[in-house]
Amino acid sequence: MVSEMAWLHTHMQKHTAECASNEVSENIVRLHNSASSTADNTQRALSLVAEAAHVIREIEERAAAVEAHSQALLSDNMAQLQAAKERIKFLENDRKTAEICIRAFEAKVEEIQTIMAQADSRMRAAEERLSYAGRKVCGGPRKPREHSHRSKRRSVLSSSQNDGSLLLKARGRLRAICECLRG
């Protein structure tokens, strides 16, 4: 390296000497260097180049570390985003299932209310028939055919038993719906 610098120095001296002999130039500055100052300058230049290379290497290493960290963060965030999307999809499916159950429950409630209203109506009618039959049996004139009162009483009792069984069915359905909603 020193020999190249020496060659460059001698070459430049010859070149400037030729230029000076051909024409006078005001723009050329002549530097007088001794061999020791050239070696010192060469060493300083080499150390500056080495230092610059070291700084560039450190910058590249930091840039690579920052890029690797950014890639890791990106990967983690993508995984979290995917997990969030899957959770949202799961919750949407649960919501849809819940809406279907609620609609089914509302339909069952309406059905039960209808059944209860019908049973209530039948019970009132049965109570009226029973009351009428009781008044007729207890307070009214006796008819020669007593078995007809018995058959009326039996029909009233069987009608009220049917209404009772309807109520039991309605209660059973309500319990089944409640158990379905709990499960």
CB 120 within 8 A of CB 164: no
Q: Tokens for 75, please give them.
A: 């990967």
Mean pLDDT computed over 122-134: 81
Average pLDDT along the chain: 77
What's residue 123's pLDDT? Answer: 86
Per-residue pLDDT at 69 exceeds 90: yes
pTM above 0.75, yes or no: no
Long-range interactions of 107-110: CB distance < 8 A, separation 24+: 108/173, 108/177, 109/177
Contact 118, 166 (CB under 8 A): yes
Residue 115, pLDDT > 60, answer yes
Report whether pLDDT(153) > 60: no
> Which carries the bigger pLDDT value, residue 74 or residue 173?
74
In this model, does residue 56 exceed pLDDT 80?
yes
Q: What are the tens digits of pLDDT across the range 90-106? A: 999 999 999 999 999 99
1 against 6, higher pLDDT: 6
